[in-house]
Structure 1
Amino acid sequence: MKILVAGDHFVTPELVTAALRERMGATHEITTLTSAWPYQPFGKIGEVDEACGDEDELIAALAGVEVAVTQMAPFTARVLAEADALRLIVCTRGGPVNVNVAAAAERGIEVRSTPGRNAPAAAEHTLALMLAALRRLPDVHATVRAGEWRSDLYALSAAGRELSGATVGLVGYGAIGARVARMLEAFDASVVVYDPYAAVESVSTLEELLSRSGVVSLHARLTAETHHLIDEAALARMPHGAVLVNTARGGLVDYDAVVDALESGRLGAAAFDVFEAEPIPAGSRILTAPNVVLTPHLAGATVQTAERAAALAAEAVASFLR
């Protein structure tokens, strides 16, 4: 069988090829293609999102290929129409956002992904953001770097808060949310969960979770139903001085409403790894908001995530062949 590994500089062709060889030996022909991501940002290509690469280059590489493994390659309807031999696409991500799944189905091409590949990394990053926001670590770090020694930060009005004893509300209880919940138990935090699609009983409404939680962490998928799930009204339901964390998708949050809540003091702090527009546009209010921690969509960026993605993809290919 001829297999194309369309990797990048994170989930590299070498990682995936080694994982495929480990599971299936050297009997299959493997060719590779490397996109410029993350040195070149991903974006919309044709009708698919979060893609990187050239359609014409991908079409040429797919000649005679029956199985393709990729993370960012743009599997548009145009590309799929030219891939006559293709039977399987494995996307090394939580979902195949860079694949036109409907067009693939029309051509009888199976599409698989690797959900959970970044769950440990994203869960750890979520906890790091919670702690950084609660203890205002970026601001404190900046004062030390500036040569200051702010003993006044011991004042009660400036002191941070602990996770121990806090009630943390998790919106979404998939692979990442469930792992965050287990980690929070080690901090002696109380966890409440809202997820109408998960087999977990906690709270029955988002409103109840928001009103009970001193920290709210988002782990839901972005859909028409969840767009701007956290808006002005939702923020008003949270306890005064609560903390909001988002490592899921930027579209879950109305960031203008968040900035208003931070500036008024209603929201005590916030920490975000994802945003509605990425990169964040110059002049965005979130860049100058008080008590906010920002990271550039890096929650899943660990060596182990890439290795896990390659291993899961290789197992998906082996399973398909079996």
Structure 2
Amino acid sequence: MRVLAAGDNFVGPDLLETAVRSQVDAPEVGRLKLPWPVEPFGPVGGVEEASGTEQQVIEAAEGAEVCVTQMAPFTERVFDAVPSLQLVAVSRGGPVNVDLAAATRAGVSVTYAPGRNAAAAAEYAVGMILAAMRRIPDSDSELKRGEWRGDFYAYPEAGIELEGSTVGLVGYGAIGSRVARVLRAFGAEVLVADPYTDPDKLRADGVEPVGLEEMLPRCSVVSLHARLTPETKHLLDADRLALLPEGAVLVNTARGGLLDYRPLSGLLRDGKLGALALDVYDEEPPPPDWPLHGAPNLITTPHLAGATRQTAHRAAEIVAAEVGRYARGEPAAHLANPDVLGSET
């Protein structure tokens, strides 16, 4: 079996190869190293959030039966040029770098890795919530400039506690459910807006199921954890942002497209938003003329929520396990294009 390990600077080709060799006897493994995250991902040949070029993948995948990757673009052009492919295993929560329709037409199974960064992203989201509520980055940067901001202890500038606060979570998947458990341990009341989760399960977990419009006015903190789909694009638009109470904290560590970024600068400058913490953006990286540059009470990080070494190892192990199942003739655990099972190809 020839396998292409198309890694990058996070889930490297070496990690992928080692993981595959632990599952399959004596595979022939080729390597390709893509530039992400040193260079941002972007659309490539009709797929989203990919790294590298179609030609790089075509050349590296020649004769490969299987590819394990995180960011390589698998487009119609790639599938047409590499007819030997049978499996593409993507080490991400969703295979957004793969044209699933083209893969299905080519008879290629595509798998993904749900939950691979759930612990990392949940921990990061809670850290962003605490940093925003207690103004940790502001006080740190001021002291590093030589300013002892004792006025941050004054009542008008003081932060708020999680204990006793009402926190709203938009989305209750692998990440949102972990965030909820941590917040409840802090003593927060947790509301969840997620129409795809059974309300009885939410209640059993000690959180309250609510509609989004009902949730927003009740929360001192809102954190986003939904997947980005056409349905959730700009889920928090200007009208819904206006429902937040004065001084609320908003955190987005999920996907930039969930949030309409246009009103945010004005909401921060007017004090309608007490703080905004962002790890994801409508355009990555934000351009030099980004309206939020210089806005008060803003915390920004460069899409790092899932960036832990454990995530990288876990991602490699999940895709390698799929290769092992394929080699043994077993069904895939996380098949993204089940229609391929009925493909004549």
Q: Which category of TM-score, normalised to the shorter sequence, fits these structures? A: over 0.9
Structure 2 unpaired stretches of 5+: 203-207, 329-345
Partner Cα distance (1:45, 1:151) in 2? 50
Q: How many residues align?
A: 321
Tell me the equivalent position of 2:134. Answer: 135
TM-fit CA distance, 1:321 = 2.4
Letter in 1 for 2:22: E
Letter in 1 for 2:243: R
Partner Cα distance (1:225, 1:67) in 2? 33
Say whether 1:320 aligns with 2:319: no
Tell me the equivalent position of 1:15. Answer: 15
SS in 2 for 1:209: helix
Tell me the equivalent position of 2:120. Answer: 121
**TM-score when normalising by structure 1:** 0.96
Letter in 1 for 2:215: L
Which residue of 169, 184, 205 corresponds with 2:211? 205
CA RMSD of aligned residues (A): 1.2
Tell me the equivalent position of 1:268. Answer: 274
SS in 1 for 2:124: helix
TM-fit CA distance, 1:39 = 2.0
Partner Cα distance (2:10, 2:313) in 1? 9
Say whether 1:222 aligns with 2:221: no
Letter in 1 for 2:235: L
Tell me the equivalent position of 1:4. Answer: 4
Partner Cα distance (2:213, 2:40) in 1? 37
Partner Cα distance (2:236, 2:192) in 1? 15
TM-fit CA distance, 1:320 = 2.3
Say whether 1:305 aligns with 2:311: yes
Q: Percent identity, aligned pairs only?
A: 54
TM-fit CA distance, 1:122 = 0.7
TM-fit CA distance, 1:57 = 2.5
Maintained 8 Å contact 1:235/1:267? no
For residues 243-264 of structure 1, the C-alpha deviation after alignment (integer angstroms, 9 at most, x for no partner) is 1000111111111212221111
Partner Cα distance (1:318, 1:32) in 2? 18
Partner Cα distance (2:251, 2:117) in 1? 17
Partner Cα distance (1:9, 1:240) in 2? 42
Say whether 1:63 aligns with 2:62: yes
Tell me the equivalent position of 1:91. Answer: 90
Which residue of 236, 246, 252 corresponds with 2:252? 246
Tell me the equivalent position of 2:32. Answer: 33
Q: For structure 1, which segment, 44-53 or 301-310, has the greater mean C-alpha deviation from structure 2 after superposition?
A: 44-53
SS in 1 for 2:233: coil
SS in 2 for 1:261: helix
Letter in 2 for 1:216: V
SS in 1 for 2:128: helix
Partner Cα distance (2:174, 2:240) in 1? 24
SS in 1 for 2:321: helix
